[in-house]
Amino acid sequence: FDRLAVPALQGLRAYDPGHDLVAWRRRVGPSLVELGSNENPWGASPAARAAVLDQLHAIHRYPDPLGGDLKRALAQKHGLAVEQLILGNGSHELLMQFAQVFAGPGDEVVASQYGFAVYAIATQAAGATLRAAPALPREHATMPRGHDLDAIAEAVGPRTKLVYLANPNNPTGTHFTIDTLANFLRKLPPEVLVVVDEAYAEFVEGGESALSLLAHHPNLIVTRTFSKAYALAGLRVGFAVAHPGLIAVIERVRESFNVNCMGLAAAEAALGDVEHLQWGLARNAEERARLADALRSRGWFVHPSQTNFLLVEFGARTAAIEAGLLDRGVIPRPMIGYGLGDCLRITVGDRNENRRFLDALDALA
Ligand code: PMP
């Protein structure tokens, strides 16, 4: 059947979400510790939950095709014009659309060696070619295996249409500063579009964001999601911010009604509940520090993280540790697909989940 696909899609592997969580939930039950998908263990804002229920009377109707209320709320929060916004069924959908719209056969797309896996899939699906710039070395003091923006700038050539950056990056958890990004943007030809994927931006200390550079860079696209800090992964809502002219072009491929009514209402309510957001962020920071300390004190190399997960190098024991964790009902994320077969990615859970993870790890020692 592979040959029935258009050439760009032949041989392409589908996005691999890791373990079959539904099967694991069935096997282990509610005691399963799910640390494989960077979900938010503390749950959504009560206001968002109420907003979902409030939509039940409306599910026989199509949702607002433009998501006007949510866009207005986002525009107000971030000081943007509504025309600078497009909504996605998760930010994953938007990341796919950028390649579909801006890169085709003969074009190149640049990303970092350990950049988020969707960039390669989006590029290949569009028929374009990915150039992966080497990451910073594992020995780098603050950003081991992180994005090397100099190497990325060097990889940009005359055929480059699009650059995908993740800040912070999944799976490394590393973060580069806004000054580094500003320097990078100054170096790039203005016709090359730069996507800054900020799925984990809320977790970054100091709250720096590429959104602040939009006014001076009409080639910049910033994506965000409600799946992580806002704890709405199951409802699939993301958004992108860019120059209104760029947004209008991306709109051409957007499915009508791509974000459902519950997602729209819940995201808007979650945006208004700043207290719940801050509470979750504070708990994540506390638990992340405890978990990183606990792992380092056991001798493991933990990549510094500005996110809700940790990339941990278990070296030659990685496969055995993964199997042992699974045996004990703890789900980590394998990294073989990223060429990081000596690491596992561990989502920061709540206190109890993290303890169960560490206990399972100690039982394997
Ligand atoms: N970008 C990054 C860096 C991610 O890690 C993820 C989710 N794992 C996404 C985008 C997509 O998230 P969503 O589609 O839920 O918005």
DSSP state of 103: -
Tell me if 227 CB under 6 Å of ligand 1: yes
Tell me if 166 CB under 6 Å of ligand 1: yes
pLDDT of res. 12: 86
Tell me if 90 CB under 6 Å of ligand 1: yes
Please report the atom of ligand 1 found closest to the CA of residue 166.
Answer: 3
Tell me if 41 CB under 6 Å of ligand 1: no
Instruction: Give yes or no for a contact between 117 and 335, defined as CB atoms under 8 angstroms apart.
Output: no
pTM equals 0.97
Nearest to 148 by CA among 192, 194, 184, 197: 184
Distance, CA of 12 to chain centre: 21
pLDDT digits (tens, 9 = 90+) for 138-175: 999 999 999 999 999 999 999 999 999 999 999 999 99
Ligand 1 centre to CA of 229 (Å) is 12
Residue 165 corresponds to which tokens in the numbers above?
């950056």
Instruction: Give yes or no for a contact between 91 and 263, defined as CB atoms under 8 angstroms apart.
Output: no
Residue 230, helix vs strand vs coil: coil
Tell me if 122 CB under 6 Å of ligand 1: no
Model confidence at 15, pLDDT cuts 50, 70, 90, reads confident
Alpha carbons 311 and 332: distance in angstroms, whole number: 10
Residue 142 corresponds to which tokens in the numbers above?
């603050």
Instruction: Give the DSSP letter string of 130-184.
Output: EEEEPPPPTT-SS-TT---HHHHHHH--TTEEEEEEESS-TTT-----HHHHHHH
Please report the atom of ligand 1 found closest to the CA of residue 38.
Answer: 8
Q: Each residue of 280-301: b (16+ CB within 10 Å) or e?
A: bbebbeebbeebbebbeeeebe
Instruction: Give yes or no for a contact between 37 and 334, defined as CB atoms under 8 angstroms apart.
Output: no
Instruction: Give the DSSP letter string of 182-224.
Output: HHHHHHS-TTSEEEEE-TTGGGSTT---GGGGGGG-TTEEEEE
Nearest to 75 by CA among 224, 185, 193, 203: 224
> Which of 89, 92, 226 has most ligand 1 atoms within 8 Å of CB, for mutation?
92
Please report the atom of ligand 1 found closest to the CA of residue 171.
Answer: 5
Instruction: Give yes or no for a contact between 231 and 52, defined as CB atoms under 8 angstroms apart.
Output: no
Least confident of 23-32, 46-55, 192-201, 214-223: 23-32
Evaluate if residue 365 carries a pLDDT over 90.
no
Please report the atom of ligand 1 found closest to the CA of residue 200.
Answer: 3
DSSP state of 113: T
Which residues have a Cβ under 8 Å from the Cβ of 241 and sit 6 or more positions away? 78, 80, 84, 85, 211, 214, 221, 222, 223, 224
Which residues have a Cβ under 8 Å from the Cβ of 153 and sit 6 or more positions away? 184, 187, 188
Domains of the chain: 2-43+275-364 (3.90.1150.10), 46-273 (3.40.640.10)
Classify strands 85-88 and 238-241 as parallel, antiparallel or unpaired.
Answer: antiparallel
> Which of 223, 227, 260, 338 has most ligand 1 atoms within 8 Å of CB, for mutation?
227
**Angstrom distances, CA of residue 10 to CA of 6, 53, 248, 339:** 7, 42, 31, 22
Share of the chain above pLDDT 90, in %: 94
pLDDT of res. 19: 86
Residue nearest to atom 2 of ligand 1 (CA): 199
Tell me if 116 CB under 6 Å of ligand 1: yes
Angle (nearest 5°) at CA 37 between 102 and 52: 85
**What H or E segment, with its residue span, contains residue 345?**
strand 343-347
Ligand 1 centre to CA of 286 (Å) is 23
Alpha carbons 81 and 116: distance in angstroms, whole number: 28
Average pLDDT, the chain: 96
pLDDT digits (tens, 9 = 90+) for 185-240: 999 999 999 999 999 999 999 889 999 999 999 999 999 999 999 999 999 999 99
The backbone torsions φ and ψ at residue 343, rounded to the nearest 5 degrees and listed phi first, read: -130, 155
Tell me if 67 CB under 6 Å of ligand 1: no
Tell me if 143 CB under 6 Å of ligand 1: no
Please report the atom of ligand 1 found closest to the CA of residue 236.
Answer: 15
Share of the chain above pLDDT 70, in %: 100
**Angstrom distances, CA of residue 306 to CA of 58, 70, 94, 226, 302:** 39, 27, 23, 17, 12
Ligand 1 centre to CA of 154 (Å) is 26
Tell me if 199 CB under 6 Å of ligand 1: yes
Tell me if 233 CB under 6 Å of ligand 1: yes
> Which of 15, 176, 223, 225 has most ligand 1 atoms within 8 Å of CB, for mutation?
225
Q: Could you give the residue ranges of the DSSP H alpha helices within 189-313?
A: 244-250, 261-272, 274-297
Residue nearest to atom 13 of ligand 1 (CA): 90
Supply the ipTM of this predicted assembly. Answer: 0.99
End-to-end CA distance of the chain: 45
pLDDT of res. 8: 86
Classify strands 220-225 and 238-241 as parallel, antiparallel or unpaired.
Answer: antiparallel
